[in-house]
Homo-oligomer: A and B are copies of this chain.
Amino acid sequence: MDKQEFSVTPWDVKGEVDYDALMREFGVEKISPELLKRLQKHTKELHFMLRRGIFFAHRDLNWLLDQYEKGNKFFLYTGRSPSGPVHLGHVQAWIFTKWLQDVFDVDLWFQFPNEEKFLFGEKSYDEIQKWLYENMLDVIALGFNPKKTHFLIDTRHASLMYPEAIKVAKKITYSMVRSSFGLDESSNIGSIFYTSMQAVPAFLPSVIAGKEIPCLIPHAVDQDPHFRLTRDILPKLGHHKPASIQCVFLPPLAGNNGKMSSSEGAAIYTTDSPKEVEHKIKKYAFSGGRDTLEEHRRHGGNPDVDVSFQYLKYLFEPDDHKLRKIHQEYKSGVMTSGELKQITIDKINAFLKEHQKQRKLAEKKVETFIYSG
């Protein structure tokens, strides 16, 4: 597949994504330098994911800031559909979400749609519930503000969510979801209904508060079709359209094609041991280096296709100066592929060591994060 042949749906990403083309296809806006400056007025520093264009696109972020500047604080809404272990591709957007929560001091509603992958996949209901618990531990471990973070679990909070979901559902026809999500006549009726439940956290806090609170959804760009439909429907129910801020995909170990995913070859999981991380990076991480050390020293490597370098850029080296130095050294051949991989392995393992410690402590905190309103 070349750049002309990529596809992005909420369930699958294939090929090398042309993000400019995708923005046109989805109708989302690029985050402009002016918008970055406007954000910076409030955040003081810009998160490196903003500086580096990892969060690159948005809907209605200017409107959201208008509201914020008028004193109408927003809430954040993001989520995780449990079906397997959490990997670095998931963690990327959540780290950014935590930063938004901290710098704006806002509530975060974190949805766990624990029926989605049951309705759309092959796993049993009980297996999905096991992953629900495991995934909650990962989210808690990232350090979200426990006073301002509210987990919504679709089945557990159905008495709160289903009455709102049917109001959404009444405004959506079968032909609308068919075209948005590629469903057909053989699709099960739960999967057809599902997007209504995903829309609910975008306005539920307003229903609970009894007044309209703006909503900002940080998410990877492949989820945009869900929220595009949500944005069409919510004004018909008297609610604001949610704003969004969208990120590119963390590359899989095999290179800049698709996204890191449990179903597509090896991913790095939050529960991996240092040895497993070392093995995966050394064995699978696509290298931008030359075939021989001699060639590498002479011509240098290509950090822009090197997956280890990408992981530093996307997640593990927040310092632009240090990142630039690695880029230069690798490109000039001063740094070997082995050395670059070792830097990344060490960074990942340092992150995971702390994460796994927090993840263990999270076992005692789960109930306090689940919304009990």
Contacts and interface: CB of A to CB of B under 8 A. Distances in A.
Given A162-B162, A193-B192, A175 B186 contact: yes
Given A155-B162, A166-B119, A167-B125, A185 B189 contact: no
Contact of A188 (B115, B172, B186): B172
Interface in A34-54: none
A165 B175 CA distance: 23
Contact of A186 (B170, B174, B183): B174
A183 B193 CA distance: 14
Interface size class of A (residues with CB under 8 A): 35 or more
A189 B192 contact: yes
Given A178-B185, A192-B174, A159 B169 contact: no
A163 interface: yes
Majority-rule SS of A interface residues: helix
Contacts of A162: 115, 154-155, 158, 162
A181 to B, nearest CB: 11
Contact of A169 (B119, B165, B166): B119
Contact of A170 (B156, B159, B188): B188
Interface string A134-178: 000000000000000000001111110111011101111111011
Q: Which 8 residue pairs across A and B have the least CB separation, nearest first?
A: A169-B190, A193-B193, A158-B162, A158-B158, A155-B163, A175-B185, A159-B159, A158-B159
Interface of A: 115, 118-119, 125, 154-159, 161-163, 165-167, 169-175, 177-178, 183-193, 195-196
